[in-house]
């Protein structure tokens, strides 16, 4: 098996990333469309990290930094490539990015029902904070 490469995604990767998330990501988000991902990449070109092996997309994570907090989204590994260190490599790259930007703590959004993801996050040193709840309001137009 060849080496894993982690690189920032570009506008040219949008269709492949969306197709990948349909296979590898659990659930969907309101911004899981070409416009949403294009805005992400345009605003913060280093935030979408892609893992590739032999030229194939095998994992993603969004490592967003707003100048204050480090947020992790869309950690996804292709089902046929799980348990090979890809998620860990993506998180290492994201954490290195955050440290380089002055970030001090990473947080992740993890679905309560996604036990596989919870295991992966715990293995990477993350833990839930039960005193917090996520509050949302769609900003539809």
Domain spans of the chain, in order of start: 4-123
Average pLDDT over residues 50-55: 96
Beta bridge partners of 108: 72
Average pLDDT over residues 115-122: 90
What would you report as the CA-atom Rg of the chain, rounded to the nearest whole angstrom? 15
Enclosing H/E stretch for 48: strand 48-53
For the chain, give the percent of residues with pLDDT over 70: 95
For residue range 12-25, list pLDDT tens digits in order: 999 999 999 999 98
- The pTM (predicted TM-score) of the whole model is 0.91
The owner of tokens 């949403």 is 36
Q: Are the C-beta atoms of residues 41 and 48 closer than 8 Å to each other?
A: yes
Compute the mean pLDDT over every residue in the chain, rounded to the nearest whole number: 91
User: According to DSSP H, which parts of 1-141 are helical?
Assistant: 14-24, 34-43, 86-100, 115-123
Average pLDDT over residues 119-124: 92
Beta bridge partners of 73: 62
User: What number of other Cβ atoms are within 10 A of residue 12's Cβ?
Assistant: 8
The pLDDT of residue 28:
67
Residues in the chain: 141
The pLDDT of residue 27:
66
The pLDDT of residue 62:
96
Distances (CA, A) of 78 to 55, 64, 83, 129, 133: 14, 21, 10, 27, 28
Q: pLDDT-derived band of residue 124, with 50, 70 and 90 as boundaries?
A: very high
CATH code that applies to domain 4-123: 3.40.630.30
* Residue predicted with more confidence, 8 or 134: 8
């Amino acid at each position: 098996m060849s080496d894993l490469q982690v690189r920032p995604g570009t506008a040219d990767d949008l269709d492949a990333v969306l197709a990948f998330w349909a296979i590898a990501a659990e659930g969907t988000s309101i911004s899981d469309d070409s416009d949403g991902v294009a805005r992400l990449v345009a605003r913060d070109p280093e935030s979408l990290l892609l893992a590739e092996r032999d030229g194939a997309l095998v994992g993603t994570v969004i490592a967003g930094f707003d100048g204050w907090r480090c947020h992790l989204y869309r950690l996804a590994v292709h089902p046929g490539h799980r348990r090979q260190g890809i998620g860990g490599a993506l998180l290492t790259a994201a954490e290195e990015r955050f440290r380089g930007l002055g970030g001090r703590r990473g947080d992740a959004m993890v679905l309560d029902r996604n036990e596989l993801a919870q295991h992966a996050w715990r293995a990477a040193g993350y833990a839930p904070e039960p005193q917090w709840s996520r509050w949302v309001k769609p900003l539809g137009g």
